[in-house]
A and B are shown apart, each in its own frame.
Chain A
Amino acid sequence: MAERVFMKGTEAIAEAAVRAGCRFFAGYPITPQNEIPEYMARRLPEVGGSFVQGESEVASVNMLYGAASTGIRAMSSSSSCGISLYSEGVSYCASARIPMVYVNVQRGGPGIGAIQPAQQDYLQATKASGNGGFRMIVLAPDSVQECVDMVYEAYDLAERDQNPVLVLTDGVMGTMMEPVVLPPMKTDEELAACRAKFADRAIVGHPLGQQAYCRPGSVGDGQEKVNIEAAAMYETWDKDIRVEEYMMDDAEIVFAAYGISARISRAVIRQLRAEGIKAGMIRPITLSPFPYDSFRNLDFDRVKGIIDVEMSIPAQMRWDVDYAVQGRCPVHEVLRSGGQLLTNDQVLKGAKEFIKEVL
């Protein structure tokens, strides 16, 4: 039964995973996502699952690779510099086509960076989460409700494609409390049915002659075949593109922002509208696959400029925006980073300076 409660982002993420059927969690402590492993340590034993505090992120992600290869729903979470250590395991899952689900609650970077929120892992998340040029679906929530819905759905996407799925959020969303509707708990029968689909491939022991192999690499021309199959799978993702176009019908000034920056931009857009400025926003919800067409198909006779709002210096999502816009209108940046939060006032001020130039 769906249930409405008031919850912190990190705990809501953990509960959503359990309701989706997650029965194994491995992770290593790092701020600002510690409540996820802590919640799992309490919660998983109640549903017959297993929690391990890994000795590192490297170990944790490889535990996840092992757990997911048995066909069970499993999860891990970390933050920025911890996520860098995940790249080995994520790449192995992509190569062996293991459906892993993981969460990055971003903090400031690079290096150990800052423990406060940031959006500085965009390019890593969307372009190269490990060696080998694989791709994965990256979901970017902008509310606690979306965190819940995306984690819940991530397993279906991961299992459909037999590929990793990342939920990319940040320290604001992780620590924020909001009312959420929790999805229903998947029944044992539903989970058994999910697992049954992969019974042939599950690394659990099989009768002679029916062995299951999990191979993150191949000899001869095997690896190229794996890569060609994966590339064909990525090509099917157009249907999975998700984007919010907010007040875009008549917009002359277009904000480009995801996650926490999109929330702030939305409030600024309302202020600008109140002052008679026709502002709107394109909010990518899937960062990969990216909604290029939303930018590509803008009416550039009407649109006077784009404001890229990110908690990253230098800007990162701007690469994708520029790729779609191809210089057909000016792109302005409003940025903070290193754990410094964007404020409404700063975005409003930056937007107005730009608007004065282009309108």
Chain B
Amino acid sequence: MAEEKKVYTRTKGIIEGAVSGFCPGCMHSTIHKIIGEAAEELGQLDNLVRVEGVGCCGLGQFYVTCDETIAAHGRAGAVATGIKRSSPNSLVYTYQGDGDLAAIGLAETLSAANRGENFTVIFVNNGIYGMTGGQMAPTTLVGMKSTTTPGGRDPQEHGYPMHMSEIINQLTAPYYIERVSCDTPQNVIKARNAIKKAFKYQLEGKGYSIVEIVTSCPTNWGLDPLKSLDFLREKMFAEYPLGVFRDGGEKKQ
């Protein structure tokens, strides 16, 4: 009989048997998996602290095995600052949506980045307020319909989408900035490697790192999972090009 070789194991970063609360086709589940894998490969699951933003991110709170605190909407950058400075050896990451990080939490986000706080931000950019039912986010595309821009986002009235990785790349202190996605197996691997790299840098004391993950929100985009992937690739990637903005403190773009 041929010998069986184990080629894949579910990460211990996710509670055994737990079911995620995310909608079908939502990339949040994949992101949780790769965070768990990255931390596990670094032997850090015992040392991992998650600071959760408010939004669909919060649906992960009964899904992960690490220590976890829930920040007030937008304040994850401040809460993580307090945690990391009080427990410098913990591996600390925030998990935030675009409304959380780029609207209500803009000051906390940029200020933590500007201080070069030694934690990692995982920023899930789906171009919309998912949790509250599809209102406009700072990242909503021009022309894109949301419940508060029923005629589509109009730059005259609502301004233009905000590019957080590019904005943070204007600051001097951040050490690592990369924008990834999870739409294909290759991109999932890239995203996992980016998260692992960010974690590694943090463990080495290098300072602030952010991995922006451009994702879909089938439910609030009003598209089925496959059509949302098309929209993601055609429209979202055009506005939010994937790539490394900074690595090792050096600007790449």
Residues of A with Cβ closer than 8 Å to B?
Answer: 23-24, 26, 50, 52, 54-56, 58-60, 62-70, 72, 74, 88-89, 92, 96, 202-209, 211-217
B103 at the interface (CB under 8 A from A): no
Query: Would A205 and B47 count as touching, CB distance under 8 A?
Result: yes
Name the contact of A54 in the complex, choosing from B45, B51, B68, B78 (C-beta under 8 A): B78
Chain A residues near B45 (CB-CB < 8 A)? 208
Chain B residues near A64 (CB-CB < 8 A)? 82
Query: Would A59 and B108 count as touching, CB distance under 8 A?
Result: yes
Closest A residue to B111 by beta carbon equals A55
- With both chains docked as a complex, state the minimum distance between the C-beta of B253 and any C-beta of chain A, in angstroms: 26
18 intermolecular pairs with C-beta atoms under 8 Å apart: A50-B86, A52-B81, A58-B108, A62-B72, A62-B75, A62-B79, A63-B78, A63-B81, A65-B72, A66-B78, A88-B72, A203-B69, A204-B90, A205-B46, A205-B66, A205-B67, A209-B65, A211-B68
Query: Would B72 and A63 count as touching, CB distance under 8 A?
Result: no
Name the contact of A66 in the complex, choosing from B12, B46, B61, B69 (C-beta under 8 A): B69
Tell me the bound Cα distance from A133 to B46 in angstroms: 36
B107 at the interface (CB under 8 A from A): yes
- With both chains docked as a complex, state the minimum distance between the C-beta of B102 and any C-beta of chain A, in angstroms: 15
Tell me the bound Cα distance from A332 to B12 in angstroms: 67
Query: Would A74 and B86 count as touching, CB distance under 8 A?
Result: yes
Tell me the bound Cα distance from A209 to B15 in angstroms: 9
- With both chains docked as a complex, state the minimum distance between the C-beta of B243 and any C-beta of chain A, in angstroms: 29
Q: What are the 9 A-B residue pairs with the smallest beta carbon separation, nearest first?
A: A66-B82, A67-B82, A214-B69, A66-B79, A62-B78, A63-B82, A55-B111, A205-B47, A62-B75
Query: Would B49 and A59 count as touching, CB distance under 8 A?
Result: no
Chain B residues near A50 (CB-CB < 8 A)? 85-86
Query: Would A211 and B82 count as touching, CB distance under 8 A?
Result: no
Interface size class of B (residues with CB under 8 A): 20 to 34
Query: Would B75 and A58 count as touching, CB distance under 8 A?
Result: yes
Tell me the bound Cα distance from A216 to B52 in angstroms: 11
Chain A residues near B78 (CB-CB < 8 A)? 26, 54, 58-60, 62-63, 66
Tell me the bound Cα distance from A81 to B9 in angstroms: 53
Name the contact of B82 in the complex, choosing from A65, A88, A206, A216 (C-beta under 8 A): A65
Name the contact of B72 in the complex, choosing from A68, A74, A89, A202 (C-beta under 8 A): A89
Chain B residues near A68 (CB-CB < 8 A)? 82
Chain B residues near A215 (CB-CB < 8 A)? 61, 69-70
Chain A residues near B70 (CB-CB < 8 A)? 96, 214-217
Tell me the bound Cα distance from A134 to B79 in angstroms: 21
B194 at the interface (CB under 8 A from A): no
Tell me the bound Cα distance from A306 to B149 in angstroms: 59
Q: A59-B108, A204-B87, A205-B46 are in contact. Are A66 and B80 (CB under 8 A)?
A: yes
Name the contact of A208 in the complex, choosing from B65, B80, B108 (C-beta under 8 A): B65
Chain B residues near A24 (CB-CB < 8 A)? 82, 85-86
- With both chains docked as a complex, state the minimum distance between the C-beta of B49 and any C-beta of chain A, in angstroms: 6
Q: A62-B75, A211-B66, A211-B67 are in contact. Are A206 and B46 (CB under 8 A)?
A: yes
Tell me the bound Cα distance from A88 to B44 in angstroms: 32
Chain A residues near B85 (CB-CB < 8 A)? 24, 50, 52, 63, 67
Chain B residues near A217 (CB-CB < 8 A)? 70
B34 at the interface (CB under 8 A from A): no
Tell me the bound Cα distance from A207 to B80 in angstroms: 20
Query: Would A67 and B46 count as touching, CB distance under 8 A?
Result: no
B71 at the interface (CB under 8 A from A): yes
